[in-house]
Amino acid sequence: MHAGLDVIQDRSAFLAEAKQLVREAQAHDGLAPVDLEQFWHDQDLACANPFGAEIPQCPMGMRLLLECAVFDELGVAEDALRYEQDEAYRLNLNRAWNDKAWRIIGRRLLPETPHQPDRAYSPVRQLSDLFESARVWQGGSWWLEQAARDENELERLLDRVERRLENLRGFLLPDGWNAQRERLMQQGVRPPLLRMLRGPVTFATSVFGAENLIFLIQDHPRLAERFRDVLQRSILRIAATLDAEAGYTPAEAPHGFHFNDDNCMLLTPAMYEQFAFPILEAVFARYSPDPGDRRFQHSDSPMGHLLPILARLNLTGVNFGPTLTVSEIRRQMPNTVIYGQLNPMTLSRNEEVNIVAEFLRDFAQARASRGLVFDTSGVINNGTRLTGIRLVMAAIQRHGRYARP
């Protein structure tokens, strides 16, 4: 029996349509029926404004860490560190994957252009460097090492961070920066800005430990608030410093900010409101003050208990874990684009009927309000197949059309 035929759970209402589409795909060597040219034409229109009254179909996401899918698709042993650090290896895999992608889904989605070192800036120090949290490769991904293990160590760490903030530019920028910046700015190449970051809870749990942070907020609220305030000030100061290096005045600096904060689910609503909410509020007030500015939160974890608090931030986009439904998010966030709610494991395990059924479920919940970009509730995992993405495209084209106004 094909994977996923009997694992539908609460999606039984959509079984007939899902099974029919999968049968049609299986009858054509796994290629679900889709007009590729029409799909991508309608996709481009839909992505421009997922709430748009005249968009033809539900837009598709499927781009978050899509490179994780190259290994199984190509039958290559997974080596994520080599993929990141060996450019020739990475581009060869990308080209081979794109060749398949062109045949199966009609687009080449992974980059194939070599890095241009003469047009790139030397790396600057990051927020993690400011807080003395070393970046280490472990278990197939990058992690930040703990920098303080008790309240006394945290106090001393915060003292050192505050001293570094007094000469932040000197701390952040590498030797030879001024000459490099002058040369590249003359070529029209600005240095990178800080507009995406680990969220405050994930960052704080990395620096101080998850259990430690919870007990800190509960038992030592003044120190927790100092940690919060130093972290907030550090984020804003780093962002402002890099804006200035890129030649922007505060009034000219580009708007928009994106947080990835999987660990925020560890805090109770009261703890989150005390520690994390003021940081997001301050950063969005500075970098996303206008209604249309990007205010994005990715947290591929159970987020239901924090929805009412996050809703007060007027987020323009969210990507939450699969325990939430589109309807639950929409009730709290009526004007937020929802990127979800396909379980990433459903896609990476190639549970074809479930893939279609989860789209039908989510589209049924979003049809009236729109504002859904059908996507994985979290990052794409190795094992995700191009035929699975094509199946999503077919489901959208057949069952995800919007009526004309």
Residue range 282-302, pLDDT digits in tens:
999 999 999 999 999 999 999
Radius of gyration of the chain (CA): 23
Backbone region of residue 139 per phi and psi (left: phi > 0; alpha: psi in -120 to 50; beta: other values): left
Average pLDDT over residues 375-401: 96
Alpha helix locations (H) across 291-384? 307-311, 326-332, 344-348, 352-366
Contacts of 160 (CB under 8 A, 6+ apart): 132
Read off the pLDDT band of 13 (50, 70, 90). Answer: confident
Name the percent of the chain lying above pLDDT 70: 97
Give the span between the Cα atoms of 387 and 222, in whole angstroms.
53
For the segment 314-322, the average pLDDT, to the nearest whole number, is 97
Predicted confidence band of residue 8 (pLDDT cuts 50, 70, 90): very low
Task: For residues 202-209, give the mean pLDDT.
Answer: 98
Whether the pLDDT of residue 405 is over 70: the answer is no
Question: pLDDT per residue over 127-160, tens digit each?
Answer: 999 999 999 999 888 999 999 999 999 999 999 9
User: What pLDDT band is residue 4 in, cutting at 50, 70 and 90?
Assistant: very low
Mean predicted confidence (pLDDT) in 206-226:
98
Query: For residue 288, what pLDDT is reported?
Result: 98
Q: Confidence band (pLDDT; 50, 70, 90) for 110?
A: very high
Q: Report the chain's mean pLDDT, rounded to a whole number.
A: 95
| Structure confidence at residue 404 (pLDDT) | 77
From residue 73, alpha-carbon distances to 22, 23, 65, 234, 348 in Å are 19, 22, 14, 41, 11
Contact 289, 255 (CB under 8 A): yes
pLDDT at 2: 39
Give the model confidence (pLDDT) of 218-260 as tens digits: 999 999 999 999 999 999 999 999 999 999 999 999 999 999 9
Q: Which regions of 250-294 does DSSP assign to beta strands (E)? A: 257-260
**DSSP per-residue codes, 121-142:** PPPPP-HHHHTT--EEEETTEE
pLDDT digits (tens, 9 = 90+) for 173-185: 999 999 999 999 9
- Measured from the Cβ of residue 272, the count of other Cβ atoms closer than 10 Å reads 22
Neighbour tally for 166: CB within 10 Å: 8
pTM passes above 0.85: yes
What's the mean pLDDT in 15-24? 94
